[in-house]
């Protein structure tokens, strides 16, 4: 890698941030800069985390230090520490906030459901949480009128219907 021509930056990972985003940023950074060497990957990872995350890594790596542990092992440690499987039941009872638009609510549901390990039933769960967790009102009523047993009634079709209904309501309000 030519250090004079570095493309991009993975940024700094801090407590409270999504480990999946760090992984994606590092993967893209490594690809853009043709970095395949695991020692370099480890060095970049360790320079991309906050002091607090360094402390976490030191405690997870004992009796070794993070500089002695392979890149893949460090990432597994971080994933195990930061990626907690969310409760299936709690996810199913998530409700739309009053200030969330249909698009924001849809993205929130997809993000939440993707972290819950629903696996094979993921698309059905996303669709159902989207409808059932939506704020009570004309949009939800309209979606509940759809026959979910029909093949074409998917999350994608329901969010399109909801966005159109929301736009019509907002236009009517002026």
Of 50, 128, 64, nearest in space to 93 by CA: 128
Whether 51 shows a pLDDT value over 60: the answer reads: yes
What mean pLDDT comes out for the span 78-107? 84
CA distance linking residue 65 with residue 24, whole number of Å: 24
Give how far Cα 34 sits from Cα of 1, 28, 49, 72, Å. 7, 10, 21, 17
More confident residue, 85 or 23: 23
CA 43 from centroid of its chain's CA atoms: 25
Residue 99's SS3 state is: coil
pLDDT in tens, 162-174: 999 999 999 988 7
DSSP for 3-53, please give it.
GGG-------B-TTS-HHHHHHHHHHHHHHTT---HHHHHHHHHHTB-HHH
Whether 1 shows a pLDDT value over 80: the answer reads: no
Using pLDDT thresholds of 50, 70 and 90, give the confidence band for residue 161: very high
How big is the CA angle at 121 (ends 118 and 123), to the nearest 5 degrees? Answer: 100
CA distance linking residue 50 with residue 94, whole number of Å: 31
Mean pLDDT, the chain, integer? 89
Residue 151 tokens read as: 């093949």
Using pLDDT thresholds of 50, 70 and 90, give the confidence band for residue 105: very high
């Amino acid at each position: 890698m030519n250090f004079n021509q570095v493309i991009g930056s993975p940024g700094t990972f801090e407590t409270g941030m999504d480990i999946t985003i760090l992984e994606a940023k590092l993967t893209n950074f490594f690809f853009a800069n043709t970095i395949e060497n695991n020692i370099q990957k480890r060095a970049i990872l360790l320079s991309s985390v906050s002091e607090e995350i360094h402390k976490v890594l030191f405690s997870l790596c004992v009796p070794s230090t993070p500089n002695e542990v392979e890149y893949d092992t460090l990432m597994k440690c971080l994933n195990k520490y930061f990626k907690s499987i969310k409760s299936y039941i709690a996810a199913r009872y998530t409700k739309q906030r009053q200030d969330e638009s249909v698009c924001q609510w849809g993205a929130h549901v997809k993000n939440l459901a993707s972290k819950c390990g629903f696996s094979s039933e993921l698309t059905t769960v996303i669709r159902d949480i989207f409808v059932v967790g939506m704020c009570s009102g004309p949009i939800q009523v309209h979606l509940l009128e759809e026959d979910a047993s029909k093949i074409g009634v998917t999350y994608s079709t329901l969010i399109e219907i909801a966005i159109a209904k929301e736009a019509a309501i907002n236009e009517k309000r002026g």
